Amino acid sequence: MTTLQVTVWRGDESGALQRYEVPRFESQTVLDVVTAIQRDIDATLAYRFSCRVGMCGSCAMTVNGVARWTCRTHVAKVAVDNRLELKPLANLPVIRDLVTDMREFFDKWARARGRLTPTRTRDDDFERIAPTAPGREAANAGIECIGCGVCYSSCDVVAWRPDYLGPAALNRAWTLVNDARDGAQGERLRAVAGDAGCHACHTHLSCTERCPKGISPTAGIAGLKRAVARAAWKGEL
């Protein structure tokens, strides 16, 4: 039987890599490998997953140096000479082993005003938005985000300045800037206009290259820069 040589981060920030030998199978995913270690070799290994089908965003890790969702990443695509190195996501505090603390990631969604502020009540009729409306199309391009943190972990600017809102929160803000139902546009543009907001993005594109859902946070951030400039020019900020 072919085996995989897998090194896995164990412990907190000051932990170390530990080596395991795992049977290799056809169509095996990286998440299958982690699960095999936890079930058959070392039950103390901590990791996070839920759906196993690319919907929940909880299984992201650093695989051979690159942030990826692991339930949809096949070993055959990423193993080099039958070797895998698995670490927790970068740019986030490590709780233990492959589990990171996602609080600051989601706190930044809140800082970017990443929630809908409705203008209608339950007594009003639904707002009708044509599928071809430009705002609807712009929002559609970013709406499938699963909050996996791959883009955030891949962003050099987040590494340099930890207060930067980051690609996922800014992508979320961009979907809402394009949402005709939302009533907090000025507040949201002010939230993303500061030093740690959209203007801190250096357009490195790592987020866009690595997003497993094919979203381009870079394009959304460029849209935010234009929207902030327009609002500033009109004296609305």
Which residues would be at the binding site for ligand FES (CB under 6 A)?
A: 49-52, 54-59, 69, 71
Q: Which is nearer to ligand FES, 212 or 223 (CB)?
A: 212
What is the smallest separation between the CB atom of 50 and ligand FES, expressed in angstroms? Answer: 5
Q: Which amino acid belongs to residue 93? A: P
Q: Which is nearer to ligand SF4, 36 or 215 (CB)?
A: 215
End-to-end CA distance of the chain: 64
Q: Which does 58 bind (CB under 5 to 8 A by kind): ligand FES, ligand SF4, none?
A: ligand FES
State the Cα–Cα distance between residues 47 and 204, nearest whole angstrom.
29
Q: Which does 20 bind (CB under 5 to 8 A by kind): ligand FES, ligand SF4, none?
A: none
The β-bridge partners of 81 are none
Q: Which is nearer to ligand SF4, 94 or 207 (CB)?
A: 207
Other Cβ atoms less than 10 A from the Cβ of 87: the count is: 20
Cα-based torsion angle of the residue sequence 95, 153, 143, 221 in order, rounded to the nearest 10 degrees: 140
Using the rule CB under 6 A, is 72 a contact of ligand SF4? no
**Count of residues of this chain found to bind ligand SF4 when the rule CB under 6 A is applied:** 26
> Which of 155, 163, 197, 195 lies closest to 177, judged by CA?
197
Site for ligand SF4 in 47-66 (CB under 6 A): none
Phi then psi for residue 55, to 5 deg, are: -115, -30
User: Which of 79, 177, 211, 227 touches ligand SF4 by CB under 6 A?
Assistant: 211
Using the rule CB under 6 A, is 171 a contact of ligand SF4? yes
What is the smallest separation between the CB atom of 163 and ligand FES, expressed in angstroms? Answer: 28
What is the smallest separation between the CB atom of 52 and ligand FES, expressed in angstroms? Answer: 5
User: Which of 22, 33, 98, 145 touches ligand SF4 by CB under 6 A?
Assistant: 145
* CA-based R_g, the chain, Å: 20
And the tokens for 190? Answer: 């002010």
Q: Which is nearer to ligand SF4, 22 or 102 (CB)?
A: 102
Q: Which does 25 bind (CB under 5 to 8 A by kind): ligand SF4, ligand FES, none?
A: none
User: Which of 4, 193, 206, 225 touches ligand SF4 by CB under 6 A?
Assistant: 206
Q: Cα angle vertex 100, ends 97, 105, to 5°?
A: 170
State the Cα–Cα distance between residues 214 and 208, nearest whole angstrom.
7
Asked if 148 and 212 count as a contact pair (C-beta separation under 8 A), the reply is: yes
Asked if 167 and 223 count as a contact pair (C-beta separation under 8 A), the reply is: no
**Which residues of this protein are in contact with ligand SF4, per CB under 6 A?**
145-151, 154-155, 157, 167-168, 171, 201-207, 211, 213, 215, 217-218, 221
